[in-house]
Amino acid sequence: MSEHFSDDASDITAQAADWLQRREFWNWNEADQAALNSWLDQSLSHRIAYTRLGAAWTRTARVAALKTHGPRSNVAESLSRSKTFFRLAAAFALVAAVGVGVASYFQAPAEKTFATALGERKIITLADGSRIELNTNTVLRAQLGDGHRHVTLVHGEAFFDIRHDAIHPFSVVADGHRITDLGTKFLVRAQSNRLEVALMEGKAAFDAADGRMKSPIVLVPGDALVVSDNQIHTMQRTAKGLANELGWRRGMLIFDNATLGEVAAELNRYNSHKLVLADPRTAAIRISASFRTGGTEDFSQLAHVLLGLKVEERNDETVISR
């Protein structure tokens, strides 16, 4: 499953400029809007080009309004200004063709940073009704507003419930890759040179942030991928598996046939008091269980009472062994 980008960035930008000019200065109607929507749906690169030019046009119009001391003289003057803008857009398209994006010529909205501490969760509600839920020990930088809906997951884990807008796509950059919403609920986890993405609803396009992938991978519900050691691995997750993976949103961690080592590592993400498995044989024991995100003591009791393992407290660690 993939959606192909056009190799001719200047041509796409010129098309986007034409659509924007028609929308702003023609007698725009429902048929025109339907045709525009069809063009936007053809390619992610179409949506990006149109979004960038739309944001640039909005800023240009605001600047012109600030500089104008009286009413516009006539329609011809307005059209003249629009032509100047679109000539500039065509020039910017030529620069984009050699690797510099149109957006670099315009100031991006102010960046805001959101973060959670160890064991903390936080919900960010955007103006359009979209929601971002941050898991433990997560840092996210956001550029939102003026047609921009762009965030960077510096590290940690976040669940995105995004209200789709074809003209203003929402994108997430994490570990050198970009996930672009196509009407989506999805999970992103970036930690220790490993990136995980899982899709719950809608669609999302996954590609490299620097554009080195020839075409993005389009994810549909149940799709998941892992990027590790510069390799991309795709897989399918069951509805139950996806629900379990989102258990942290309820303060729960749910494990199905997981090793004690895996369970301990996950609990350690939420707690300063760490669980240590003393030897590989102990770490390899498998269990199916649920724990509170702060449930290190529950884990220790299960290991001792149900599995007959030795539990020893050492300062800020609990060491578990045979």
CB 303 within 8 A of CB 277: no
Helix (H) or strand (E) holding 15: helix 9-25
Q: What is the pLDDT of residues 41-57, one digit of tens each?
A: 777 777 777 776 766 66
Alpha-carbon span 232 to 2, nearest angstrom: 14
Q: What is the pLDDT of residues 82-123, one digit of tens each?
A: 555 555 555 454 444 434 343 343 455 678 999 999 999 999
Any idea what DSSP says for residue 238?
A: -
Helix (H) or strand (E) holding 67: helix 44-67
Helices 9-25/75-96 angle, 10° precision? 160
Query: Domains of the chain (ranges plus CATH)?
Result: 9-105 (no CATH), 111-242 (2.60.120.1440), 251-321 (3.55.50.30)
In terms of pLDDT, which residue wins out, 93 or 194? Answer: 194
- Per-residue pLDDT, averaged over 265-279, amounts to 96
Which range, of 25-34, 57-66, 91-100, 287-296, averages the lowest pLDDT? 91-100
The pLDDT value recorded for residue 16 is: 78
Any idea what DSSP says for residue 249?
A: G
What separation, in Å, do the N-terminal and C-terminal C-alpha atoms of the chain show?
47
Indicate whether 72 pLDDT > 50: no
- Per-residue pLDDT, averaged over 134-159, amounts to 91
Could you tell me which residues come within 8 angstroms of residue 174 by beta carbon, excluding any fewer than 6 positions away?
152, 153, 188, 190, 195
In terms of pLDDT, which residue wins out, 319 or 80? Answer: 319
In terms of pLDDT, which residue wins out, 192 or 82? Answer: 192
Could you tell me which residues come within 8 angstroms of residue 29 by beta carbon, excluding any fewer than 6 positions away?
none
- Per-residue pLDDT, averaged over 114-141, amounts to 94
> Band of the pLDDT at 5, cuts 50, 70, 90?
very low
Indicate whether 234 pLDDT > 50: yes
The pLDDT value recorded for residue 7 is: 40
Beta-bridged to residue 275, according to DSSP, are 318
Alpha-carbon span 221 to 236, nearest angstrom: 9
> Band of the pLDDT at 293, cuts 50, 70, 90?
very high
Helix (H) or strand (E) holding 259: strand 252-259
Q: What is the pLDDT of residues 210-223, one digit of tens each?
A: 777 878 899 999 99
- Per-residue pLDDT, averaged over 174-188, amounts to 90
Indicate the average pLDDT of the chain: 81
Q: What is the pLDDT of residues 300-314, one digit of tens each?
A: 999 999 999 999 999
Percent of the chain scoring above 90 in pLDDT: 51
The pLDDT value recorded for residue 215 is: 83
Model pTM greater than 0.75?
no
The token duo for 137 is: 């020990």
> Beta strands 148-161 and 177-191: pairing type?
antiparallel
The pLDDT value recorded for residue 121 is: 96
